Structure 1
Amino acid sequence: MEYHELNPLIRGRELELLSNETFERMIQTNSVEALGEILKSTIYSPYIYDGYEYDFEQNLLKEQSRLFRWLKESAPEPEIVWIYTMRYTFHNLKVLTKAEMTNQNLDHLYIDDGFYSLETLKDAIHTQVSNELPESIMDSIREVRDYFEESTILQGIDVIYDRQFLTEQRRLADKLGYQELLTEVIAFIDLTNITTMARGILQKRTYGFMTTVLSSSGSIEKEVFLNFVDKDMEAYTNFLLETDYAEFLRPVIREGNLDLVKLEQLKDDYLSSLYQEAQTQAFGPLPLLAFLNAKEVESKNLRLLVIGKRSHFEPETIRKRVRQVYDA
């Protein structure tokens, strides 16, 4: 019932989402200028002008920042919002930690997550203490600092933060206690592990490396994945076809190989499908979660369209890469 005031506002914002029909019209356009003409009749109209395609990424981030801040202020449980914007928190931690370790200025790569400012994160990384960041995030920052005292390989920073991101996702989902959210988070972790293990097999990564990069927070035990470190892709795909994700994965498995590009697209569609129930719910956080997911998918599709039209891709090439759209 805490969401009874916010959810009607979410329903109103859902009407601003671009429909499947609008996306199809944009796919069929023959130029980035024609694409812009369609966008002029949407909420993105302020960002359409001569040469808009060169600023569109930054303008999408501005739109995203406003949405995150509104939802943080409006949601009964701001942590519900952060579980989605957390990916940007960890992106910022990666970038700013590398800047600290290499004495570079990478402030321009910061993405507003609606919660933690550039100055807050930089100060936490520099001093190793913070009154604003959760202690679990500070533990991640300190683990990275300890790692860097023994190694100068920057990739290790990404590995540690990526693993800690998934751990924090599961911790927060468990704490909030919403089954729909927990189901999505566990699926996200499982599918991330599935992709990570596939890349590890292709790159012939060691057992030690895979132990570090795989998450222990999903429904499939890390040790199960580690059994495939020295095996080929066919053995791995045969295993995947015996998991609960078999039907989902079947379209991206062919002759013992896994199509990782197509898998990323299907992963987004699969996670979106978990929120379709939101269309019939009036209470709880599910409509908020569904809306956040829909906005993220919409942004990905718009980036794809603008880049595709700038690069003169054929409509069919773009259509194959567009994610499933949430129709309110």
Structure 2
Amino acid sequence: MHDTEYKGINTQIRVAETRLFTRDDFEKMLRAEGLRGALDVLKGTDYYFDEQEVLHTKNFDQFLMTRLQTVYNELFQTTPNSEVIQIYTLRYSYHNLKVLLKQKVKEIDLEHLLIPIGKESISSLRNLVKTEQSEVLDPIMIEAVQLALDDYQTFERIEAIDVFMDTYYYKHIRAIADELDNPTISKVVDVMIDLDNLSTVIRSLNQNKSRSFMHTVLSSSGSIPKQTLIDAADQGKAALSELYLSQPYAKYLNEVFSDSRSDFNPMMIDLIIEEIINELMDEGKYQAFGPMPVVAYIFAVEREITNIRLILVGKDNQINEDIIRERMRPIYGS
């Protein structure tokens, strides 16, 4: 697909960007008097809600996810290649597969945990879990479900469902990135997988997990071979440091590896992933052609919703605005 085919949608994205929350908008929410005041800031925006109902139920996710679902539905209809949108929506699809698989093997009702976002309808995912076959879903997804169910039938390890879905999720977005052949998207996927693998290794080391455990839970779809990472983990912090500080995103990891303590803080890795991707999105959103303005816009909407949720929960629990501000994700355009 030619990058020029995104010219029309990228023009629409520029218009949509003007409706995104600015730093001033977030500051108004942060300085607002209580939850009601924060909700007042949202009135007249693209977030539609019944104020009295929200004040009563405190169910912020209902209207926030409705907004996100609307954005994705519109983009699926207007973006030349839907796989660009799937870079983000696949995580909801694989989340839904986790829910449906656990619901099947444990025979419990988990319907309330399903999220109706993604190219794959919940009915098609439900049918895949039921029959282990599908004529409409990607073969990667089909294989993931088949292997997860085979493993459960053999070992009855409910936790293995999460492992299979997580590793196949990364395998799936790697396949999409390779198909799109966009250098910025490839970098984003590298960062997501490589640093999530690092976070997993850190947690595994902190919990004294075995090599075989790491071989099972790590993704083989990143830029660093899984076996190389496991071998480095065996040798300790210095070997991991040498391995990761040779990567293109090394400058972000200096603080992690310069810590004099023998262990690591995996939470720091999660924040670094967002910091790196935020910088890549800042670069990509100004590309005149190609899919990056769309990808950057979705990133901005996802982070906007994360920040709004954080503020509303904080206001509801009377958390100091400075503490909420410290926990917020990067703001688009700031």
Tell whether the structures are fold-level matches, with TM greater than 0.5: yes
Structure 1 runs of 4+ aligned residues shifted over 6 Å read none
- Residue from 163, 168, 172 that aligns with 2:167: 163
Matches within 5 A, 1:86-125: 86-125=90-129
Per mean C-alpha deviation after superposition, the further-off stretch among 189-198 and 31-40 is 31-40
Cα-to-partner distance string for 1:138-164 (whole Å, 9 max, x where unaligned)? 011111111011111211000111011
Contact 1:47 1:59 in 2 (8 A): yes
Alpha-carbon distance between aligned partners in 1 of 2:151 and 2:197, rounded to the nearest angstrom: 22
Give the CA deviation at 1:209: 0.9
SS at match of 2:6: coil
Aligned position for 1:305: 311
- Residue from 52, 67, 70 that aligns with 1:50: 52
Aligned position for 1:81: 85
Aligned position for 1:32: 35
Contact 1:36 1:48 in 2 (8 A): no
- Residue from 256, 260, 283 that aligns with 1:255: 260
Aligned position for 2:9: 6
SS at match of 2:327: coil
Aligned position for 1:139: 143
- Residue from 208, 215, 219 that aligns with 1:211: 215
Q: Does the alignment pair 1:196 with 2:214?
A: no
Per mean C-alpha deviation after superposition, the further-off stretch among 173-182 and 48-57 is 48-57
Contact 1:294 1:326 in 2 (8 A): yes
Cα-to-partner distance string for 1:105-137 (whole Å, 9 max, x where unaligned)? 212111122312222111111111111111111
Cα distance change, pair 239–312 in 1 and its aligned pair in 2 (3 A) = farther
Cα distance change, pair 189–145 in 1 and its aligned pair in 2 (3 A) = same
Give the CA deviation at 1:243: 4.3
Alpha-carbon distance between aligned partners in 1 of 2:248 and 2:24, rounded to the nearest angstrom: 33
Q: Does the alignment pair 1:187 with 2:191?
A: yes
Per mean C-alpha deviation after superposition, the further-off stretch among 226-235 and 129-138 is 226-235
Contact 2:194 2:224 in 1 (8 A): yes
Contact 1:200 1:229 in 2 (8 A): no
SS at match of 1:5: helix
- Residue from 128, 131, 150 that aligns with 1:127: 131
| TM-score using structure 1 length | 0.93
Contact 1:201 1:233 in 2 (8 A): no
- Residue from 280, 284, 291 that aligns with 2:286: 280
Question: Structure 1: 5+ residue runs without aligned partners?
Answer: none
Cα-to-partner distance string for 1:208-261 (whole Å, 9 max, x where unaligned)? 110011111111221222125555557645754454433212334532343322
Aligned position for 2:26: 23
Alpha-carbon distance between aligned partners in 2 of 1:239 and 1:315, rounded to the nearest angstrom: 39
Number of residues of Structure 1 aligned to a counterpart in Structure 2: 327
Contact 1:265 1:321 in 2 (8 A): no
Cα distance change, pair 279–242 in 1 and its aligned pair in 2 (3 A) = closer
Identity of counterpart residues, as a percentage? 31
| TM-score using structure 2 length | 0.91
Alpha-carbon distance between aligned partners in 2 of 1:17 and 1:71, rounded to the nearest angstrom: 16
Question: Structure 2: 5+ residue runs without aligned partners?
Answer: none
Tell me which amino acid in the other structure corresponds to 2:72. F
Contact 1:107 1:118 in 2 (8 A): no
